[in-house]
């Protein structure tokens, strides 16, 4: 009953803040909910000086939710499937080379470069952390968060090609980032020798296995949907694909996020051909509403979770510096594959700059940080991750529309958008 009461409060706060935003503030929903959740958290922290028991009670209630398990085990499957439903396969095929290069090569580059920068920055602030944990931080912060990206870029005035690259890359680099993180975590907490061959095998099993599972789930659902015409049952089938498929992936130790992305793309493209107009309409509205509600809960919860994080002034400073450094690393991780694989000229520098500033971090990074085993380095990584995520969504997300307008105005004649 306590969990139900807690989620009732979260939904009520999200509904109230959403109303305030739509009625008066008119910001993108993700930014407004995180901003108001952050303000609410700061108010709770301020109240602690006058009423410590109240703050302790709030912390105790929030602790009932295992944030990491809630995001990675529940929300992520729904949000990735819902987001990938609207991705057109024909647009993906046109940008497949750039999306895959950014998602794989870019994420690997970003992981290692961020890890190196983090390792030396921590030492400047007179802290110590093993390089393996720096790699874990690099892996969890390198991929952009599709939940944050799609939620905030919905109203941005982008060309179809730029939008496809940003959304496609964020969907796939999320899955790759989670796989890299899981591989590194296995090495960190594992026992015995773990050589390059073992690392490669684990990575391939997670990534390729997830893609294969996604194809099986997507075509399995498509076959069932094609054989009937009943929108209630067809919606129920898609729910089973998400919940049952994600659980099965977890049991097989393959990438659930990649499976959900692939299954969502297949359902949104091939599956729609097998649906009647009524089913297509109901299914689209169902997943759109589900996406909006879960996004509201996620961003509200991220803001409120600040109450339970052990922030220290040194961690906040490191986080702010890393947030800025990560933007430059993000540009390099996009520029290098674009140059190396020969599509820099096609995309243009304006597109790479928009993708750099629009590469937001969100709840997945926080969830991965919170999933780390309890030790002397977890508090540091969690605190710094929170600072980077808050900076990413509140600063980059808040200004992305103005940045896009400015960059498009400064674009050279004839340059690709």
Q: Are residues 41 and 143 in the same domain?
A: no
In a domain, 229, yes or no: yes
Counted domains in the chain: 2
Q: Are residues 46 and 78 in the same domain?
A: no
Q: Are residues 254 and 304 in the same domain?
A: yes
In a domain, 275, yes or no: yes
In a domain, 415, yes or no: no
Q: Are residues 34 and 113 in the same domain?
A: no
Domain final residue, candidates 34, 62, 90: 62
Neighbours of 157 (CB within 10 A): 10
In the chain, count of helices (H) and strands (E)? 22, 0
In a domain, 417, yes or no: no
Q: Interhelix angle for 131-141 vs 363-370, to 10°?
A: 150
**pTM of the predicted model over 0.85:** yes
Q: Are residues 34 and 102 in the same domain?
A: no
Q: Are residues 161 and 237 in the same domain?
A: yes
Q: Are residues 142 and 266 in the same domain?
A: yes
In a domain, 416, yes or no: no
Q: Can you give the residue range of the structural domain that contains 255? A: 67-410
Domain final residue, candidates 62, 80, 112: 62
Q: In which band, very low, low, confident or very high, does the pLDDT at 156 lie, cut at 50, 70 and 90? A: low
Q: Are residues 240 and 346 in the same domain?
A: yes
328: alpha, beta or left, given left = phi > 0 and alpha = psi -120 to 50?
Answer: alpha
The answer to which of 28-37, 96-105, 190-199 has the lowest mean pLDDT is: 190-199
Q: Who wins on pLDDT, 56 or 109?
A: 109
Q: Which of 104-113, 152-161, 192-201, 341-350 is most confident? A: 104-113
Q: In which band, very low, low, confident or very high, does the pLDDT at 368 lie, cut at 50, 70 and 90? A: very high
What 8-state DSSP symbol labels residue 305? Answer: G
Q: Are residues 272 and 354 in the same domain?
A: yes
In a domain, 401, yes or no: yes
Segment 379-401, tens digit of pLDDT: 999 999 999 999 999 999 888 88
Domain final residue, candidates 62, 77, 95: 62
List, in order, residues 6 or more apart from 119 with CB less than 8 Å away: 129, 131, 134
The HSE-up count of residue 58 (CA atoms within 13 Å, CB side) is: 22
Q: Are residues 243 and 388 in the same domain?
A: yes
- d(CA 385, CA 134) in angstroms, rounded, equals 12
- d(CA 97, CA 341) in angstroms, rounded, equals 8
- Burial category of 241 from C-beta neighbours within 10 Å (exposed 0-12, middle 13-18, buried 19 and up): buried
In a domain, 124, yes or no: yes
Q: Are residues 334 and 212 in the same domain?
A: yes
Q: Are residues 244 and 304 in the same domain?
A: yes
**CB-CB contact of 138 with 174 (8 Å):** no
């Amino acid at each position: 009953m306590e969990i139900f009461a807690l989620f009732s409060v979260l939904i009520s706060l999200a509904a109230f803040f959403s109303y305030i935003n739509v009625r008066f503030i008119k910001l993108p929903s993700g930014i407004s909910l995180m901003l108001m959740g952050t303000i609410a958290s700061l108010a709770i922290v301020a109240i602690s000086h006058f009423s410590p028991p109240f703050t302790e009670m709030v912390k105790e209630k929030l602790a009932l939710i295992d944030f990491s398990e809630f995001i990675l085990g529940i929300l992520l499957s729904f949000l990735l499937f819902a987001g990938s439903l609207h991705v057109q396969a024909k647009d993906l095929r046109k940008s497949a080379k750039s999306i895959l290069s950014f998602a794989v090569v870019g994420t690997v580059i970003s992981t290692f470069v961020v890890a190196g920068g983090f390792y030396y920055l921590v030492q400047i602030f007179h802290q110590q952390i093993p390089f393996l944990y720096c790699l874990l931080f690099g892996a969890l912060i390198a991929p952009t968060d599709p939940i944050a990206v799609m939620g905030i870029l919905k109203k941005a005035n982008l060309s179809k090609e730029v939008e496809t690259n940003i959304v496609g890359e964020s969907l796939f680099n999320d899955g790759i980032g989670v796989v890299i993180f899981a591989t590194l975590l296995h090495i960190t907490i594992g026992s015995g020798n773990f050589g390059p061959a073992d690392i490669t095998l684990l990575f391939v099993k997670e990534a390729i296995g997830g893609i294969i599972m996604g194809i099986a789930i997507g075509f399995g659902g498509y076959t069932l949907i094609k054989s009937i015409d009943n929108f209630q049952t067809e919606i129920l089938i898609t729910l089973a694909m998400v919940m049952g498929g994600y659980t099965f992936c977890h049991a097989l130790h393959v990438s659930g996020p990649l499976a959900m992305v692939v299954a969502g793309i297949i359902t949104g493209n091939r599956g729609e051909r097998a649906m009647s107009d009524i089913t297509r309409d109901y299914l689209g509205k169902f997943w759109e509403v589900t996406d909006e509600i879960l996004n509201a809960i996620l961003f509200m919860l991220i803001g409120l979770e600040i109450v339970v994080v052990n922030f220290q002034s040194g961690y906040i400073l490191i986080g702010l510096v890393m947030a800025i450094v990560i933007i430059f690393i993000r540009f390099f991780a996009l520029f290098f594959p674009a140059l190396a694989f020969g599509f820099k000229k096609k995309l243009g520098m304006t597109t790479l700059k928009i993708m750099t500033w629009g590469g937001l971090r969100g709840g997945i990074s926080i969830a991965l940080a919170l999933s780390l085993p309890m030790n002397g380095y977890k508090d540091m990584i969690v605190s710094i991750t929170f600072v980077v995520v808050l900076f990413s969504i509140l600063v980059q997300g808040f200004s992305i529309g103005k940045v896009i307008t400015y960059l498009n105005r400064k674009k050279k004649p004839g340059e690709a958008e």
